[in-house]
Amino acid sequence: MSGPSGMTAIGAPSTQPYTEEILKALNIDRSNPRRLQEVPAEALFDAREKAIAAARMDGSRPMIDGRHFPAAPMTPEGLAVHADIPLLLGTVDTESTSFLASDLRNFSVTADQVRARIKDEFAMDDAAAQALMDAYQQAEPGRTPADVLIGIASDSLFRAPIIRGADAKADARQAPVHLYNVAWHAPVDGGIYRAPHTIDIPLAFGNTAASAALTGTGPEQVEVSRNVLSSFVAFARTGNPNNDRVPEWPAYETATRPTMSFDVQCQIVPDLRGGDRVAIGTLQTRSNSGPLHTYR
């Protein structure tokens, strides 16, 4: 459920710059890493933000260490561990609005501001940043600069890694994988957050009444929740999410990329937002609190 870190697990050497920066921020010598256990949580969080900014990456993620984490889950070595186990995975429509909500000015940014953030996040020049923005605009004409920002931030951090994971599992052809996207947009605060990161949690657990601050209240929430919950329960029981509340849900494969779009009325969408998928390519965000999400 919107969990890309396991899809992009990397080895410790790749995060060495981040490690050095966080130790520097905490004034800890790398020969005495046990001092990290004595650092108060607030100081550790502050050091993490400084390290992300300095190293231009977020190294606080699962690491391949050859012992506790022997391989990235979607590499050939990792796939072998769960070769015969079905997989259900997916995202929500606008993952990044959860982070952009820290400053509501993010929802009325200009094209120049979006371009500057893209350049900073992905180390691009003006031409490359504009080309990425143009591709998103062409994929869905009528998008505002904020819509483009939301799309790029959501895709780079969440959707692109999830799709790469689905691709790898499907191509291994040993167990089925089913892909979903929560398309339903919550009416909270006039609907500004749309379908933010974590909105699928109360939907999947059937407790939207206790999560009104995130989902709002009304009959739609209950219907969407029943659709998601029924599919998750069916998958937990049988390894197949099909049930009588949703249309026929085929296993994911890379030729047509069928995706269940969870809404009041669900539908299967082939290659959901395929133009965006192609545009984001191999770009990967460096953090979930970096330049794309910070107003300036």
Whether the pLDDT of residue 18 is over 80: the answer is yes
**Beta-sheet pairing, 258-262 with 267-270:** antiparallel
What burial class does residue 238 get, using C-beta atoms within 10 Å of its C-beta: 0-12 exposed, 13-18 middle, 19+ buried? Answer: exposed
Read off the pLDDT of residues 162-197 as tens digits, 9 standing for 90 and up: 999 999 999 999 999 999 999 999 999 999 999 999
What gap in Å lies between CA 102 and CA 104, rounded to an integer? 7
Distance between CA 72 and CA 78 in Å, rounded?
5
Residue from 100, 222, 242 nearest 180 by CA: 242
Question: CA triplet 68, 70, 75: central angle to 5 degrees?
Answer: 145
pTM above threshold 0.75: yes
pLDDT, tens digit, 9 for 90 and up, residues 242-255? 999 999 999 999 99
Confidence at residue 52, expressed as pLDDT on a 0 to 100 scale: 86
- What the block records as the tokens of 200 is 């699928």
Q: What pLDDT, in 10s, does the model give residues 59-96?
A: 887 888 888 888 888 888 999 989 999 999 999 999 99
pLDDT of amino acid 66: 83
